[in-house]
Amino acid sequence: MDEQYYEKLLHIKTAGEQKIFNESPHYNRYEPTSYSVLETLAEQYPFTAEDHIVDFGCGKGRFNFYINYFFDSTVTGIEMSPFFYKQAVQNQRAYLQKQNKKANKITFINALAEDYPISPKDNKFYFFNPFSLQIFTKVVRTILLSVKNQQRTIDLILYYPSNEYLDFLETNTSFTLFNTIKVSADHDPRQSFSVYRLK
């Protein structure tokens, strides 16, 4: 199904190219995960209504609305750009009005990823290569500290992950590779989801 179908279904506007670029070298440009890729993830990964999912670098919120719509998961989008944050909030208003969903299951926060205080309920974290290894390291360590305070199973869902991300998780954390979900028939191994789990 194409973008127009989902944008109309969810009553949101997340398509289009980025027109605003970050000055910081630590944050990558906004690029929404394609709906076809989200379809593949949804078919092969078990989201539930009990999940509390954090999307780092959420942009206009596409991932958040898709997961909430199909799984009724609680979703929190973290976005550093005030412009994209405002777009996400506008999409939220339109989505909630159209879908008659509960507002308390979708939240957007305008903040740096490393400043987000991990909730004891947060159990799944989505990354579409949003920032540098330096920021990723800080975020993962904050997640690990949260687990020390509140024991629970944690999944990191990485789409198109950088080798630096994977090397860090493999050599510097207790996360282990739980699943690899391929989303393309081409020969680029990064065109996939890598799910790392901490039990």
pLDDT digits over 14-59, tens only?
986 555 555 555 455 667 899 999 999 999 999 999 999 999 999 9
Dihedral, CA of residue 34, residue 4, residue 67 and residue 105, to nearest 10: 130
Confidence of residue 102 (pLDDT cuts 50, 70, 90): low
Give the tokens for residue 49: 């209504």
Report, as an integer, the average pLDDT of 90-109: 87
Provide the residue type at 69 as one letter: Y
pLDDT digits over 47-98, tens only?
999 999 999 999 999 999 999 999 999 999 999 999 999 999 999 999 998 8
d(CA 107, CA 98): 17
Overall CATH class of domain 38-198: alpha beta
pLDDT digits over 122-142, tens only?
999 999 988 899 999 999 999
Task: Quote the pLDDT of residue 26.
Answer: 45
Q: Report the percentage of the chain scoring pLDDT > 90.
A: 77
Task: Quote the pLDDT of residue 174.
Answer: 95
Report, as an integer, the average pLDDT of 101-106: 76
Selected residue with higher pLDDT from 29 and 4: 4
Task: Quote the pLDDT of residue 199.
Answer: 85
Confidence of residue 114 (pLDDT cuts 50, 70, 90): very high
